[in-house]
Structures are given as structure tokens and as C-alpha cells.
Structure 1
């Protein structure tokens, strides 16, 4: 038999103290509400229940920010749901936000709501931009009333806050309380009554009228932990709110405000470790969206790498700087978000790509693109400093933004409105910056700036620009310029590497490069040859470059995003989008060409060696390969063509060949190619067709160094080119390997290792 609320107690109460399971008890009615969560019916990983968290409060339900919510329906006889008008209502809840939404369409990320703003009905308690929060109600007579948190009373991320909202129609007042104290009130006509939205369910963690992104993702959802949600049919007094807060402190926290450790609230990568398509030895966020990794830097024995990240879900929105740290460039640890949009005049609308360097004292600094939609242009170059000390912040977790932008684009400097992705380096003469932009009517460009103090910058002109008439695929805009020293060639001439990523109409969105010389006096780049080259020929899977000179080894290392090549529907179902490529060492070869190799440290991930062979024919090699299989492998292969004009290797192959991916070399056309026409039978996956590009071997055997990591395929050919692609087989037995050729050939050598997860 259902319990009924008394006049003093809550009419609805979710303790969220279950600690496990896929439902939450509404204590008053004794109804168990199903918790919606994407991995309850997982498509690509092991099914699991929603995530619960233990903390100083005892525990709580973790909301992932895009799929976790509760819908509570009402029985006909339930007075909590059937009353058409209310003279009073109070809500109390403990919340710990993980991130904030941008506030699309002026809507709140709902904590709890049963409302229809258009019809001026119901109530909504939720969060908005930068941690502000609001309580909103529809009144009898068709008025919609809102009360907002004042400045300075935002809900902090990664911390517990006790939130109370009170509607008192009889006294004509709405009030907000934070941690037991009243922080805001607003007047109403005495005798006001709340009009219930009786035609809709009560939702926890999701807005009743959320906006849609890509027709798949519901925005305005809560991200973080929630506990002890109570809704009262009366107006709580200030003393009652204060007493309820103090009761929790006294009973669970020895009289002090409860603390929350980062590990208790951080995004959890555990559900994704079993995802059969998610790479496990490539760097990735714990969950959700990333695009390019950037700002690599080595400091105090550790490598730091940042990345563009949406902590709210696996879709592009509200970009932050995620953060990893590593001692070996292979095994990475997740750290808290380093930079996020804040309520300031600098970057309230996005923290976009940038780079890292050192200040005059040798401490790391971050240069980033500050997004501010109220400014024109909405992009400028900004700076953040670390709070580092060995005992205070050894992992460089905390960063403080310089309050004003350092470089603001003026008309006449580049393509106005496109000004982003600063790449900054330091030498004995000062600091230098390249900013991605374009030249009106001419094409993409990297713009050059210099500074003597890292704060005041002088524009020096275009560092290098495209000839869009000759090379239209270089596009009207360049993003993510990277400039690295390569050392001296055989003639003793000092050479450098310039990388750019074209975007805009007509652009081929790949990583193009030139080798050339630096004219330091004029701060210009002079390429050895006009036509750009590609590092990778895999067609849009190797993008978003960043780079560094490793102070530990002197190597020049390039990082990239490995694009995921999936639909929004599949990214919703999988809970993640994109990952980093393997770190790539680039160098100047004896023949003057650019050499590329995966970093040697990756050998530390090798497990059992499945195969080692030499000087075998195609058929002999395939007999030995019959029992070799896996989706996390390293393969080294050298092939000498006999009569074969096309030859290579089939990977992720089912025993019957129904699904397979063929990576091969076309000798007649000097091309490295991948054929994905049989990669997957899954009707929703996009991967297919044949991609590739030019690779001149000049009579050498084909030497492939390949890495398979579930959906990732990276092949490095003769130290000259890479081919990065994606594969999403539908069949779980797509694990086989087979040598292929259209004629006779010799497998000069082949080694296959299992690879281990870095997580």
C-alpha cells in the first residue's frame, strides 16, 4: 500500500542511496523509477547499470550528461501529481556538477522539472551557463516567474552543493538557498498559485522541453552526481532549510561541508574498456567527445597533452581543454579539465585549440583560442599560467587565465573573423607565434607575431600563405599551424617543418606540410618546393596536428586526432567520439625527404609474439597465419614483389572473408591504398570505398609497420608515409590476417605481437 505524505514531510523523495541497479526508489509512493542510461542495452560494449558513486554524503547517482535521466509518472490517485494548482512547493537536493552546458535557446539543464514554459505551467529547477542556476514556475493566470542565483553563488564543479528552491504563493515570495543560506528572493502577488503541468511526467536530470542536436542528442541535461532529492507541498522556512543542511553535516561529515574527491565524480572510462571498437592503447578521453589533441609539453619528468573536449556527451559542443599526463608518451593518466569557459570577458563561449611553451622562468604556459561570441571577431589569442609547485600542483592541474586577450585580430590582419589555433615557441631572442587564418582572395595563411615579454605581441605579416590558384585544395583558411626544427641537411642548411590543416570551401581537410628554411629576420618561411606534401594518405582520419620538440630526447613529435568516421546515432550508442593517433617522430632523412616513425616507446606495449617468419611465399605465409588473430596487434611486414603488381595484407578478416579490410601497394601507380568495401556489414557504419595516396618506393621492398587497435588501423610505409583509417566490423570473428597479392611474391619477414591496453 502506497504511503501518503503528511503535512510536514515531502510529497516525493528520491534518496539515491541504492548504490547499484537500474532503478531509483521514490520513497513516499514506494514506486521504483527506471533510470535511463545508454549502456543498459549496450550496442558495442558489455551492458551495465547506471553508475553510482560513494562519497562523504554516502553516495549518489551519477548522471553522464547526455543519456542518464529519470521519468516519474503519476498514479491517478496520487495527490503529488494530480493537483492542478498549488499554493506552495519546495525542492531540496544535493548536487555536484561535473560540467556546465552553454545554455542553448536560453534553456536550463534540468535538475528536476515538470514544466511547460510555453503554456506557463509547472516548475523547473536547473542550471545554466557557467554554473548559474534558477527556479522557474508557471502561475495561474498565465505568468511565468523566474528567480536566479546572484553573482558569486554559482554551483561549483566537482563539489557538493545543497540547493533549495521555495515557491510560497500565500506569502507572495520565491526564494533560493545555497548550503542552508538564503541567497535570493523575489516577490509575487500574494495568493499566487502554481499551475501544474499535469500532462507531462516529472523528469530528473533532463529538461521536459530539451533542444535537439543532430536530431539525436537531447541538450539541457544534468552532468554530475545527485543525492537526496525532496519535493514538499509547502513552503519550507529559512530555519527548516538551515536545519536540514546542518543535519546532514552533523550526521555524515562531522559538522563540516562534505568534500568530494575528483575520482568520485570524474567521467568513468570503465564501461568503454570492453567496447569492441574503442581503441585501448591510443590516448582517449575517459568518455564523450574529443577532437584535436594539442599543446604537448614536457616538464618536471612528465609529458602533458591537452585536447578539445566536450565533457557533457559524445558530440561537438561547449569545448573545454581536457588533460592527460604521462611519463613515457604511451601510458597516460586522466586529469581534470584544465581550461573551461567561464563567466568572464575573455572566453565565455569556448576554449579552443592552442599550444604550450615556457615562460621566462622555464614554467609551462598555455596559449589558447579564446571564444567570446559578444566580441568581433569572436576569436582571440589568450594565455593561462600554471600554479605549479612540486608539493602543491605537480601534475599541472590548475591553470589561471591572464584576464585579457594577448592578440586581438584587427582588420587588415589576415581573414577577419578567422583567427585561431596559436602555435608558440621560445628561443633566446624571445617568443614567436603563428596563428591560423587566411588572406582575402588568396587562400589560407599562417600569420606571424613576435614578443619580447610573452605578453605584448607585434604582427610581422604572413609567415606563409597558400597560392589558391595553383593549389585550390589548400582552401581559404588554415587551422592548427605547427612549426618544428628538423636540423641540418647534408649541405649544412638548417631546415624546418611547417604543418597546416586547410578548411573552408574547396579545402581538402588533411595535414599538409612543407620542408624549408626560416627567414628569422622577416619571420617568414621559405619552402624548398611550392607544392605541399601529405604525411598521411588515409583520407581525413589523420588530422588536427600539434607538435613539440622533446627536451628529453631531442625528437620532433607530432600528435593528431584519429577521426572516428561514424554517424551521430552510433556515437550516441557508443558513448564516445574520436581518439588520438599514435605519437609520431618526424625527422629529416638523408635524401632530404621527411621521415616518419611511430615512437619507439610503443614497444613497451608488446605482449606475446604470435608469429615470426622469414622468406616465405604467399601461400606458405598464409598457412602460418591461419591461427594468428587479434584486434590489438603490432605487425611488421616486408614484402618483395615477384610477378605481383598489387600486394598487401588483409586485416580484421572473418574466416570466410565476408568481412575484411585490405591494405595494399599498387606498384604500377606507386600508391599506398586501403580497400574498405568489405570492412563491415553493419548498415549504419559509414566506412567503405578505397582511399590512399602516392608513395614512391624507388625499387625498395614494401615495408609496413602496422598498428591495429580495435577500430584503429595505422600503417607506416618505409618510413615515408602513413595511412590511417577506421574499421568497424559487424562480426566478432573479424580477427584474422591474410597476405594478398595478384601474383607471386615473397614475404621477406613478418612479426606479429599482441598489444596491451594503456588503461
Structure 2
């Protein structure tokens, strides 16, 4: 329990002195356990060292800056959102650090620094990030430090969870390193003690000594000319504009004493708070993004930080598990983790603890996935989950490789890593395995670089452990199927109906790039037949997954009706600075149902039927008979909105469509329309924002009217900065738009070269999903 001066109507310094005096009379010092009664025959114990609590951060404010309890000094907390966050702590509130912008520096000194105790509670969501470098080039971060590289003290922790205590005793830098990784996702009490009388230094975790060292007796500690810092190291590691090595977690009751607390006292301190709720501390506070107009509210995404492609979507019982690449520590890409979320309907998701993250081999400075856990797939066999992922390190075999982790725990919350199973020796490069089972045989496709171009590596197995390379998967050569890329990523291969299969890949590199107007990064697919271990495409030139670029790399699973359902990524189209300012990057698409169109050659896409659960009303608001020869307001507004716009057959306009995210003075709007003469879909983002942080472009793409039908139904979902468009429940695309004005939320109809009449506009407000 915390006691505050305001509760006792005493100044804090007076309260502290009174408490120390009373505890001294009882035979103990503040923070120590009192002595047990002794018999006359018991030997006398060495005198207990005495001293003072000299520094204490309680973090009990509701938000913002904090106060050092001993001196009453104000302490500024650095935080880019100008609102340092508080969460439920071990005692009262705790400081939530975001991993890339939150830390504090406080004035600190010791009058006669020969002894020292440092203790703090910390709950980590993840280990600090670093650049993807070999071990000997790595520099650790710190939980609490007063250090300049040689003088002072520091409680260090690195990106693989190794932690240690360093302190300068009499000019010698002493290091105490724990042998186990620091715990994640729980309140942990960590302490370091320097006792110059006994000549000992100890590092303790949850009241237990985990490392010890002998030191010279009666030596003075050499402190650094630095403030005491909480939340990051005194040495910054940066990647461009991004700080990588902040601490992503929560801190409570950071204390420093000028005397050595006993192990018993520190154990008692731990036991007093050991039942604290860590889940409440780890959650990203809702306040962090409460005013962010661009952040989606009903699209699945991590609570914060950087994310990349979802993958490994798999059903177990009535639950869907989706895994995805992420950096939990900030809006930057480095040392990728596997995030994990669950759903029962492809729409409403609950975020779980990260499934996988980079580690070192025991007692080693290397590890097969120390550089990152990249995309892959998950299958469930006999109730056990098998996660196949792309592991990367720095040299040697299996770099990259396909590694395996398994889980049979409830909700697949804990995973056991196996050794890598497959090396890339059959191709020039590879990544992102995809698996399926047929008649007792498991098949694996891996996106690859083959003879300098995009392609696939193909393997089979009967037990998910031993894999055999197969030289042929497709009847066509990859060179003839490729579009000038360097490697194919995240393949998908599934039956799509009527005896057909779909092969989908995401070519990258080479002549393919994110912002290229003629050959942008996007999902491409072939429809064909699958027999005797060979896929025979019905055509050589691939078809586009989306009409307009912006969405790619879907992961798939069957819904309750057996319909293939896909969720991809809708990536950012704004600057790195804008992503840093936001504190997050990228989102996932809405769930799409896939099916084969009547031409037997084209993929159809429509919104998942479960998306209706997001509607805040059972019936829509409807507007009938909207006609325009230019731009007409509809009266519908919203940044979280679904609408269906239906074209009347009497329309004569050669171009017709709609505008979203539009404001009244038309300084911001995004237009989507169909060019009926040229049979093209147009996305006009040239006026989408008044900010200079987006690719404000005009995108024109061919539209297959024979396959999809002339556009008469536009089904659209708007969610912050992401827009999902479905045409005739057959064609689809998703894109990003970033208007900055609060009133940029209007929906307009559009026409040119004639009159467009829309028989109905039906719209619904949509609710946010909870991702915690």
C-alpha cells in the first residue's frame, strides 16, 4: 500500500523521516523485514546496514509528468503524444512506456556512495528493439540507469531478453548477468544491491538472487555525470528518424537507497505486489489514439506499433487464429515478431500475447531466428498447432530457413521452437511457406527466387517433420508466369470450386515496386487444375487480385459454410514521419469471401456476411433517387460508415461513381468512378488531403466488364484512413486516404458526360471492435 503525505496532512519529507524513525525503533529500516525474536543462546548476526531511501518514483498521477517522492521535485516525462500514460500498477498507477518515445530523466545524487540498492517493478510487453546486427555489434537498452558507458550503474536488457546489472565500484566496472531471459507479460520485481562492507553485489529477480559478484570492500561507487533514466538506455539506437531501443512496458515504484537492502527485504517487497494484474498494465491505453482521425476502428490490427502481412489463419474448434508480423515497440520494421489474435467470425478479434519472437540459442550469442520471425503458415493436426515460419539470422545454414514451432496449449498461447527443417539450397532465396493436406500427404509451397525471377519451392511430407523437395509444381515455367519480379511472397493455393484451384502470389523486387504506376506490388493469381502433384494454369498471364493497388498478401481459411475467406494487409501510403507521429503503421483488410465467377477463370470477391455484426442499427438509413451531372451531396457522413450505392438503369453518364471523405468546401475528397467508355476503374486521390504526407495520385486500371458485369452496385466500407470497395459483389479493392480536417467525412455521388441516377443509397454507422 502506498501512503501519501496528503493523506496524513504532513509534508512528504517529514513523513519519510517519521517512517524511518519508527521503523528504526522497531528494529528495521524502511524496505526491510523486521528481526525475529532471538533466544539468549543464538549467535549475534552482523549489524544490518543503515541508510535512507534517496529516490522514489511512484507514478501515481493520472497522466503526464511525475514527481520524485523524496525531494518533491517535478520530473518531466518525454512522450511524443504530450500525455505520458498511466495504467493500473502494482500499487496505484504505473507509467506506461510505448517503446519509442516515452522515458524520463531525473536529478539524482548520493552523498557518500559506497552502498546502493536499486529496485523497480516492470511489466514488459516485449524486449527492446535493435538494428538487425550480429550480437557483438549490439548495444543493450536499460530499464533504470545512471550510466555513461563506464561510470554509474545500469539495469540493462537487450533485444533477446538477456539482462544484467553493471556498476562502477572504485573505478572497476562490475557486471552481473542473469542466466535466464527476463519475463514478459507479467509484473516483475528486479533489484540490484551493492554492499561494500560485505564486498558483494547481487542482482535479484522477484526476490531471488540470479547473479552475484565479489567486489572490493569499502570502495566508493563512481557515479556518472548523468541523470537517472527510466525507460531507455543512455545510448540511443536509431534507424533514420526512429528510436529503436526504448522500453515497451510499464514501470511502478522505482526506488534507490543509499544502503544495501537485504534479500529478505527485497523478497518481502516482491511478495507484497506479486498478485498485481499485469494484463491491465500491458494494454495499450485507449487514450493514446483517441483523437487520431486516421486510425481504423473496426479493421483488425495490433493495438500499437508496426504490422505487416497477416498469415497462418487457421481454425481450431470454433475459433479462428490469425498470426501476423509486427514490431510491438514502435511504428518501424525490425526484428519481426509473430503477433496472434483470435476470432469466431473473421470480424471481431481479441489480441493475445505474441506467439513468437527472436531468440538466442542457450548459452550462445547466435540463434537461427535472432534476426527476425518472418511470415509463414499454421496448421492444426490432432489438436496440435504447427507453425512454419521463415527464420533469418546472420550467417551459415538456414539463413533463411523454414523453422517449426509447435503448441498444444490452450488457445496456442505458448510455443516450443524446433530446429529449422528446410534450407534454401534448392533455390536462390525463399520465404513464407504455405501448407495444405491431401489424403495423408502434407504439401508446402514457399515463395522463392528461381533463376533470378519470382517462383516457388515445393515440398511434401507425411509427418510435418521430414520434407522432400519436388522439382515441379507448375506445368508452366515460373519465368513465363512472372511479371519481372525478383521473388514471390506469401503464396496461397486452394480449391476454388468447379474442379478448379487458385494459385495466388505477391511478386516483389526487380521491376515491381510499391509506387510503380505500371507494375506495382500487388497480389496476382491464376485459376487452373491440380492433378498428380502438378498445377496447370488455365492462362499464362496472371490476373490482378484487386482492381486498384493498395491491398495484398491475404491469408485464407474456410468459414462455417466452407467458403474461402481472406484477410490481407492495406499498407500505409504516407511518410515515415507521419507514421512516427501516429505511433502505428498498416492495417488489415476486411474479411472477403472468395468464389469462382461464372466464366470459370476469374476470382469473385464479396464482403464477409459477418460484417453485418458491425452495424449499429438493424435497418439502414436510405436515400432514394439521387441524380447528378456533376457532384451531389447525399447527406451521409461518417469516418466509420458502410454504404451501398445502387445505379439505376436509366443513367446516361459515361463516368459515374462516388466521393468519400469529402468536406463541404471540397478542399479534401477522394473520388472513385467507372469510365464506361474506356471500361476502366479510376481512383482519384489528387485532392484527398491538404497535408503533404500521402501519395496524392490518379490511378486508372482496366476493368473486366465481361467477368464482373457493368458496375451497378458499389458496396463501400470507410474506417478512418482505410476504404474497402466491392463492385457487384464480384470485384474488390482497398486503399488508404488521409484527410486531415475534422469535417472531411461526407459522401457524394459523381457523374460526368451525362446524368447518373442512383436508385438508392443505404448506409449504416459501424461500431468499433475491441482488440484488447
**Bin for the TM-score computed over the shorter chain:** 0.7 to 0.9
Change (3 A) 1:15 1:604: closer
Q: What SS does the aligned partner of 2:267 have?
A: helix
Residue of structure 1 in register with 2:616 after alignment: 607
* Matches for 1:94-113 after TM superposition, within 5 Å: 94-104=121-131, 105-113=137-145
Residue of structure 2 in register with 1:73 after alignment: 107
Kindly state the Cα deviation for residue 655 of structure 1 after the two structures are TM-superposed. Answer: 0.7
* Matches for 1:336-351 after TM superposition, within 5 Å: 336-344=353-361, 345-351=367-373
Residue of structure 2 in register with 1:387 after alignment: 408
Pick aligned residue for 2:159 from 119, 123, 129: 129
Residue of structure 1 in register with 2:331 after alignment: 314
Pick aligned residue for 2:177 from 105, 126, 148: 148
Please tell me whether residue 679 in structure 1 is matched to residue 709 in structure 2.
no
Compute the TM-score of the two structures, normalised by the length of structure 2.
0.85
Q: What SS does the aligned partner of 2:616 have?
A: strand
Residue of structure 2 in register with 1:294 after alignment: 311
Residue of structure 2 in register with 1:43 after alignment: none
Distance 1:22 1:666 in 2: 53
Change (3 A) 1:449 1:187: same
Is the CA contact 2:206–2:270 (under 8 Å) kept in the aligned structure 1? no
Please tell me whether residue 560 in structure 1 is matched to residue 576 in structure 2.
no
Distance 1:202 1:705 in 2: 56
Is the CA contact 1:53–1:60 (under 8 Å) kept in the aligned structure 2? yes
Please tell me whether residue 543 in structure 1 is matched to residue 552 in structure 2.
yes
Please tell me whether residue 429 in structure 1 is matched to residue 455 in structure 2.
no
Please tell me whether residue 357 in structure 1 is matched to residue 379 in structure 2.
yes
For residues 304-325 of structure 1, the C-alpha deviation after alignment (integer angstroms, 9 at most, x for no partner) is: 2111121212221222111111
Q: What SS does the aligned partner of 2:610 have?
A: helix
Is the CA contact 1:162–1:245 (under 8 Å) kept in the aligned structure 2? no
Change (3 A) 1:49 1:180: closer
Change (3 A) 1:312 1:162: same
Is the CA contact 1:89–1:168 (under 8 Å) kept in the aligned structure 2? yes
Please tell me whether residue 506 in structure 1 is matched to residue 515 in structure 2.
no
* Matches for 1:82-231 after TM superposition, within 5 Å: 86-104=113-131, 105-117=137-149, 120-138=150-168, 144-149=173-178, 151-152=179-180, 154-168=181-195, 173-188=200-215, 192-198=219-225, 200-215=226-241, 217-231=242-256
Change (3 A) 1:247 1:630: closer
Q: RMSD of the alignment, in Å? A: 2.7
* Matches for 1:392-411 after TM superposition, within 5 Å: 393=410, 395-401=411-417, 403-410=418-425
Kindly state the Cα deviation for residue 296 of structure 1 after the two structures are TM-superposed. Answer: 0.9
Is the CA contact 2:390–2:433 (under 8 Å) kept in the aligned structure 1? yes
Pick aligned residue for 1:62 from 92, 96, 119: 96
For residues 591-632 of structure 1, the C-alpha deviation after alignment (integer angstroms, 9 at most, x for no partner) is: 122111111111222234664345542269936x1x221111
Change (3 A) 1:279 1:366: same
Is the CA contact 2:65–2:84 (under 8 Å) kept in the aligned structure 1? no
Is the CA contact 2:12–2:69 (under 8 Å) kept in the aligned structure 1? no
- Count, aligned residues: 704
Kindly state the Cα deviation for residue 569 of structure 1 after the two structures are TM-superposed. Answer: 2.1
For residues 413-456 of structure 1, the C-alpha deviation after alignment (integer angstroms, 9 at most, x for no partner) is: 111xx222110111223111001111123x11111110011111
Please tell me whether residue 495 in structure 1 is matched to residue 488 in structure 2.
no
Q: What SS does the aligned partner of 2:265 have?
A: helix
Q: What SS does the aligned partner of 1:295 have?
A: strand
Is the CA contact 1:679–1:687 (under 8 Å) kept in the aligned structure 2? no
Q: What SS does the aligned partner of 1:554 have?
A: coil
Is the CA contact 2:399–2:423 (under 8 Å) kept in the aligned structure 1? no
Kindly state the Cα deviation for residue 588 of structure 1 after the two structures are TM-superposed. Answer: 0.9
Change (3 A) 1:248 1:528: closer
Is the CA contact 1:438–1:465 (under 8 Å) kept in the aligned structure 2? no
Residue of structure 1 in register with 2:58 after alignment: 15
Is the CA contact 1:15–1:27 (under 8 Å) kept in the aligned structure 2? yes
For residues 699-718 of structure 1, the C-alpha deviation after alignment (integer angstroms, 9 at most, x for no partner) is: 72443211111111111223
* Matches for 1:250-289 after TM superposition, within 5 Å: 252=272, 257-258=274-275, 260-269=277-286, 271-289=288-306
Distance 1:182 1:607 in 2: 55
Is the CA contact 2:630–2:750 (under 8 Å) kept in the aligned structure 1? no
Change (3 A) 1:466 1:70: farther
Distance 1:693 1:466 in 2: 27
Change (3 A) 1:247 1:655: closer
Please tell me whether residue 637 in structure 1 is matched to residue 645 in structure 2.
yes
Residue of structure 2 in register with 1:515 after alignment: 527
Distance 2:336 2:244 in 1: 15
Distance 1:620 1:681 in 2: 22
Distance 1:188 1:346 in 2: 37
Change (3 A) 1:689 1:13: same
Pick aligned residue for 1:53 from 79, 88, 96: 88
Residue of structure 2 in register with 1:743 after alignment: 753
Distance 1:207 1:323 in 2: 29
Kindly state the Cα deviation for residue 563 of structure 1 after the two structures are TM-superposed. Answer: 0.5
Distance 1:465 1:90 in 2: 69
Change (3 A) 1:167 1:691: farther
Change (3 A) 1:269 1:536: farther
Change (3 A) 1:179 1:469: closer
Residue of structure 2 in register with 1:332 after alignment: 349
For residues 221-276 of structure 1, the C-alpha deviation after alignment (integer angstroms, 9 at most, x for no partner) is: 22222222122334x16xx1322321452xx35xxx43544344233445335421
Q: What SS does the aligned partner of 1:601 have?
A: helix
Distance 1:751 1:638 in 2: 9
Distance 1:58 1:126 in 2: 26
- 5+ residue gaps, structure 2, are 1-10, 21-49, 132-136, 362-366, 513-519
Distance 1:454 1:516 in 2: 26
Is the CA contact 1:499–1:511 (under 8 Å) kept in the aligned structure 2? yes
Change (3 A) 1:284 1:404: same
Q: What SS does the aligned partner of 1:656 have?
A: coil
Distance 2:188 2:626 in 1: 67
Please tell me whether residue 714 in structure 1 is matched to residue 724 in structure 2.
yes
Distance 1:462 1:140 in 2: 68
Kindly state the Cα deviation for residue 653 of structure 1 after the two structures are TM-superposed. Answer: 0.8
Pick aligned residue for 1:305 from 301, 322, 341: 322
